[in-house]
Amino acid sequence: MQIKRISRVRGEITVPGDKSISHRAVMLGALADGDTHISGFLGGADCISTIECFREMGIDIEKNGDRVTVRGKGLHGLSKPVKTLYTGNSGTTTRLLCGILAAQPFDTDITGDASICKRPMGRVTKPLALMGADIEGEYCPLHIHGRRLHGIEYNMTVASAQVKTALILAGLYAEGETVIHETEKSRDHTELMLRAMGAYVRTDGLTVRVGKTESLCAQDITVPGDISSAAFFMVLAAIMPGAEITIRNVGINPTRTGIIDVLRSMGADIKLKNRRSSGGEPAADILVCASRLKGTEIGGAMIPRLIDELPVIAVAALFADGKTVIRDAAELKVKESDRIAAITAELKKCGADITATEDGMIIRGGIPLHGASFVTRGDHRMAMSLAVLAQMADGKSEIDDAECVSVSYPSFFDSLYSLDNN
Ligand code: S3P
């Protein structure tokens, strides 16, 4: 598909609901007693995979646009699925389900698409095994034998909210306390939601403690807009001369706002307005005006706070004066694609000065760029980052697979092209 160039970036947009929170709302809603009403649910393919998996396990879920009702059956109310659970492209569905399924009184098979079958699952199956879980395979398809679990104290080896959440979910079923020490603080939506539902979950710095739980109390959940989706428009507005946009109702949980901190450190003009709480999660309207950017260094504890935004941050770096260094981000290699290789290869096609490193990349900005024929590798965040880049590169650009944006932002191109009409 050829990427249409828009001539101006002005006005207001609303981005779809947060992907991480939408997944958790369905999963925890299914395990709660009573009905969970979700509004602002992300209807992207990944979250639909989560809904389908729980339907396969006997949970009644009604979806009407962005409103979803999950008729929870309690922590022990799931039934054995008749067929293999299919998680599509969704790492969150696959890894979080491992934590729940490991503790069920039945066996399950679980698999996903070609990308999921290449993503490492040992990072969840190994610590779960220490809790007594019995999971065959380190890559999908996985065969999970339900077992009685016991609490453990576990030092995480990667900064991953998916691993942490799988252990927390298993911890709800395990005898005794489960104590998890993170390497860096990762997104904490699970902890916030579980606490709101009445579970024993304590956080102290990098340590999370969870106790065996009798029941979860269903809550109404309002999902704020996804900052990871807003990031594409934040970057576009920051780099496109004359741009000025407002992105309404975006989640600004501090474990997710690395994109704001980094863009500001590059000189971006970003304001947060109408701060409020949206279902226990902080939210605000984000105003971004174009400004001159400079290069920056990104690493350490910042990485988990913007891991999904690094492809589009690399695009921002192309339009910043000087050098941007991204380090401590080896996790990029095991996302929907190997994002270090993917970003480097695609940005080079435009004439960018970018070098891949073992755990990140080095980008020299301020070089004139030309359009190119991009390959997304089926990775939704690559497709959207490249669409942003195409707006600023001279001449025409095309991408091989625009459809893959449906994983997290089905209406992305509508939002992009709408900015021209304001
Ligand atoms: C997610 C955690 C992150 C992120 C993914 C969603 C989650 O993955 O990249 O898109 O919802 O917990 P890791 O936990 O592997 O870092």
Q: pLDDT band at 278, cuts 50/70/90?
A: confident
Does residue 217 share a domain with residue 327? no
Would residue 88 count as lying in a domain?
yes
Whether residue 192 is found in the same domain as residue 271 = no
Nearest to 232 by CA among 371, 404, 386: 386
Same domain, 37 and 93: yes
Residue 173 is predicted with a pLDDT of 98
One domain, residues 157 and 300 = no
Amino acid found at 166 = A
Q: How far is the CA of 162 from the centre of ligand 1 (A)?
A: 5
Domain end, chosen from 176, 192, 222, is at: 222
Look up 308 and say whether it is catalytic. yes
What proportion of the chain, given as a percentage, has pLDDT over 70? 100
Q: Which of 192, 222, 252 is the last residue of a domain?
A: 222
**Would the pLDDT of 260 be above 70?**
yes
pLDDT of residue 60: 98
Hey, CA dihedral for 46, 228, 278, 94, is it positive or negative? positive
Within-domain flag for 90: yes
Average pLDDT, whole number, for the chain?
A: 97
Q: What pTM was computed for the model?
A: 0.98
User: The tokens of 202 are what?
Assistant: 């304590």
In tens, the pLDDT along 15-64 reads 999 999 999 999 999 999 999 999 999 999 999 999 999 999 999 999 99
Q: How many distinct structural domains can be found in the chain?
A: 2
Residues 297 and 167 in one domain: no
Instruction: Reply yes or no on whether the pLDDT at 110 is more than 80.
Output: yes
Average pLDDT over residues 356-370: 97
- Given this model, what pLDDT does residue 280 score? 83
Same domain, 298 and 317: yes
The answer to whether position 2 is within a domain reads: no
Note whether residue 4 is domain-resident.
no
**421 pLDDT above the threshold of 90:** no
Tell me which residue has its CA closest to atom 15 in ligand 1.
160
Rounded Cα–Cα distance for residues 386 and 400 (Å): 11
User: Average pLDDT in the 165-183 region?
Assistant: 98
Domain final position from 205, 222, 239: 222
The verdict on the CB of residue 308 being under 6 Å from ligand 1 is: yes
Burial class (CB in 10 A: 0-12, 13-18, 19+), 417: exposed
283 located within any domain? yes
* One domain for residues 216 and 273: no
Q: Are 170 and 194 in contact (CB under 8 A)?
A: no
Q: What is the pLDDT of residues 198-230, one digit of tens each?
A: 999 999 999 999 999 999 999 999 999 999 999
Q: Residue 214: what pLDDT?
A: 97
**163, 307, 335, 409, best to mutate for ligand 1 pocket (most atoms within 8 Å of CB):** 307
Q: Which tokens go with 317?
A: 């770096």
Q: Domain range spanning residue 256?
A: 10-16+224-418
Element (H, E) at 23: helix 19-31
Residue 189 sits in the same domain as residue 236: no
CATH code at 100?
Answer: 3.65.10.10
Q: What is the predicted pLDDT for the residue at 235? A: 98
Residue 5 lies in a domain: no
Q: Are residues 352 and 403 part of one domain?
A: yes
User: Are 233 and 217 found together in one domain?
Assistant: no
What is the tens place of the pLDDT at every residue in 50-91? 999 999 999 999 999 999 999 999 999 999 999 999 999 999
Answer whether residue 1 is part of any domain. Answer: no
Indicate whether residue 95 lines ligand 1 (CB < 6 A).
Answer: no
Q: How far apart are CA 133 and CA 299, in angstroms?
A: 34
For residues 181 and 47, state if they share a domain: yes
Cβ–ligand 1 distance for 161 under 6 Å, the answer yes
Task: Note the pLDDT of residue 422.
Answer: 65
Cα 5 to ligand 1 centroid, rounded to whole Å? 31
Q: Is residue 3 part of a domain?
A: no
Is residue 301 very low, low, confident or very high in pLDDT (cuts 50, 70, 90)? very high
Same structural domain, 414 and 321: yes
Residue with CA at minimum distance from ligand 1 atom 9: 308
Tell me which of 92, 168, 303 to substitute to probe ligand 1's pocket, judged by most ligand atoms within 8 Å of the beta carbon.
Answer: 92
